[in-house]
Amino acid sequence: MAGASLHLKSTIPMACVRESGHLRIQLPDKTRNSRVLVLGGTGRVGGSTAIALSKLCPELRIIVGGRNRENGAAMVSTLGVNSEFSEVDINNVTSLEAALNDVDLVVHAAGPFQQTDKCPVLEAAIKTKTAYVDVCDDTTYAQRAKTFYDRAVAANVPAITTGGIYPGVSNVMAAELVRAARSETKVEPERLRFYYYTAGTGGAGPTILATSFLLLGEEVVAYNKGEKIKLKPYSGMLNIDFGRGIGKRDVYLLNLPEVRSAHEILGIPTVSARFGTAPFFWNWGMEAMTNLLPAEYLRDRSKVQQLVQLFDPIVRAIDGIAGERVSIRVDLECSNGRNTVGIFSHRRLSVSVGTSTAAFALAVLEGSTQPGVWFPEEPEGIAVEAREVLLKRAAQGTFNFVMNKPAWMVETDPKELGLGIYV
């Protein structure tokens, strides 16, 4: 790694300027020319991250990591002179460690993360003393990443897992809602609920489709008054108002890592996460797959890949009609009846996921993250004083971003909710 210590001093926040309507970030001199390797950089999520980093910090050196040289050359052409391609196989230790040599930060966006039994990129990052961010959206993988905490501390390596849009930005939104409730009103939060909506695949490609199918094979873990409970995937439908530009959408329970991390780190007794898509028949299809296909089938990566190949052309065609709007709604309910909401809505998930991931990468480069492996809501991962800056950067291009408001102020059809449910 090129100078591990440059990540570890607190230098928050950095200067921001706008040029031609774009936010540009001025990193400190020591990190301004940092080399950032984006694994999965020829894919939808990784490519979006590389483009966002290049726009936010043109002086960064972006290395696009992937297996396809032709696709890599196309991405380098898009990024410009301050970029290069590196052929990397994340399952080959020699290839991975060679790619990480002389790199300051690696962003792991080469999913899906479901049904994998190792963390090869994180291991290689620790061995080569390279700072690390991943966009993991799998509970098992995220918890496995946390087991590398001691090794990361010993190597003086800062690492963030689940540092994308959701989970990622949603975790930081939740942490800020909780902080505000405890510091401003001195009340104790009791219930935290994550709601997500994406039109189609959000333009994010077959990896997102594979992730969705794999999640249908996992029991949903939620928490009810401190008790861990297991529920059927894509069940428990609620109709949630995501505010202007999105409106009311049906969302269903899914097993997502922010549920456990928010319960344990933020100390919230009742936590759950739900997701929904559009057109409406995709929700019906997901529900039918959960009911008709054995869980073992949906946990088999090779079988899921066959499903992806079957459905991908159809999904792409419908995506062209459905668009790719994305919305996050985080609800916090407190012991005194105080209810607050955060909403984050963007017209294009394929853009917003990159901007969000880039915000985490920049936070690490600026020194916001201590050595160890952290979730986004941990103050050692994203310092409390850095959260506002991170959210503002991630929210670039959103058409609706509000925090710490009562529900009636943000909903399209405001009313008191009396759902009588606990998860």
Q: Has residue 158 got a pLDDT over 60?
A: yes
Residue 341 backbone dihedrals phi, psi, to 5 degrees: -135, 145
Counting Cβ atoms within 10 Å, is residue 230 exposed (0-12), middle (13-18) or buried (19+)? exposed
What is residue 204's predicted lDDT score, i.e. its pLDDT?
Answer: 56
In the predicted model, is pLDDT for residue 161 greater than 80?
yes
| Range with lowest mean pLDDT among 32-41, 232-241, 299-308, 401-410 | 299-308
Per CATH, domain 35-166+350-396 is 3.10.20.600: no
| Predicted pLDDT at 320 | 75
pLDDT on residue 4: 42
- For the record, the structure tokens of 117 come out as 């039994």
**Tokens describing residue 4:** 């591990």
Q: Which amino acid is at 126?
A: I
Position with higher pLDDT, 415 vs 195: 195
Q: Considering only CA atoms, which of 129, 419, 167 is closest in space to residue 273?
A: 167
Q: Tens digit of pLDDT for each residue in 21-45? A: 567 777 776 777 899 999 999 999 9
Instruction: Using the predicted structure, report yes or no on whether residue 329 has a pLDDT greater than 70.
Output: yes
Model pTM score: 0.90
pLDDT tens per residue across span 217-258: 999 999 999 999 999 999 999 999 999 999 999 999 999 999
- Main-chain dihedrals φ then ψ at residue 300, nearest 5 degrees: -90, 110
Is-contact 25 362, C-beta < 8 A? yes
Calculate the CA 309 to chain-centre distance: 24
Mean of pLDDT values over 287-299: 91
pLDDT at residue number 22: 60
CATH of domain 169-348+402-409: 3.30.360.10
Asked if residue 16 has pLDDT above 90, the reply is no
pLDDT at residue number 9: 33
The per-residue pLDDT for 203 is: 61
Give Cα 128 distance to the centre of its chain.
24
Q: In the chain, where does the domain assigned CATH 3.40.50.720 lie?
A: 35-166+350-396
Instruction: For residue 108, list its beta bridge partners.
Output: 39, 134
Q: What type of residue sits at position 248? A: K
More confident residue, 335 or 371: 371
Range 93-97, long-range pairs (CB < 8 A, 24+ positions): 93/120, 93/124, 96/120, 96/121, 96/124, 97/124, 97/127, 97/128
Euclidean distance between CA atoms 98 and 71, whole angstroms: 20
Please name the helix (run of DSSP H) or strand (run of DSSP E) that holds residue 55, with its range, or none.
helix 44-56
Strands 189-199 and 220-224: unpaired
Region of 247 (left: φ > 0; alpha: ψ -120 to 50; beta: rest) is left
Average of per-residue pLDDT across 68-97: 94
User: Is 130 within 8 Å of 35 (Cβ atoms)?
Assistant: no
Share of the chain above pLDDT 90, in %: 72
Closest CA to 92 of 67, 111, 62: 67
The pLDDT value recorded for residue 5 is: 37
Residue 313 preceded by cis peptide, ω within 30: no
What would the DSSP string read from start to end of 151-194?
A: HHHHTT-EEESS-BTTTBHHHHHHHHHHHHHHHHS---EEEEEE
Distance CA 123, CA 138 (A): 18
Amino acid 342 reads G
Give the containing element (helix H, strand E) for 159.
strand 158-160
pLDDT for res 415? 59
Residue 307: per-residue pLDDT: 87
Instruction: List strand residue ranges (DSSP E) for 27-154, in order.
Output: 35-39, 61-66, 83-87, 105-108, 131-134
Q: Determine contact, residues 254/175, Cβ cutoff 8 Å.
A: no
Read off the pLDDT of residues 61-70 as tens digits, 9 standing for 90 and up. Answer: 999 999 999 9
Residue 391 CA to residue 6 CA, distance in Å, equals 23
CATH 3.30.360.10 maps onto the chain at: 169-348+402-409
pLDDT tens digits for range 89-127: 999 999 999 999 999 999 999 988 988 889 999 999 999
CB 378 within 8 A of CB 178: no
Sign for the CA dihedral angle at 317, 318, 319, 323 comes to: positive
The pLDDT of residue 149 is above 80: yes
Question: Which of 9-18, 284-293, 393-402, 408-417 ranks highest by mean pLDDT?
Answer: 393-402
Instruction: Answer positive or negative: Cα dihedral of 88, 371, 386, 139.
Output: positive
Alpha-carbon distance 103 to 3, whole Å?
Answer: 9
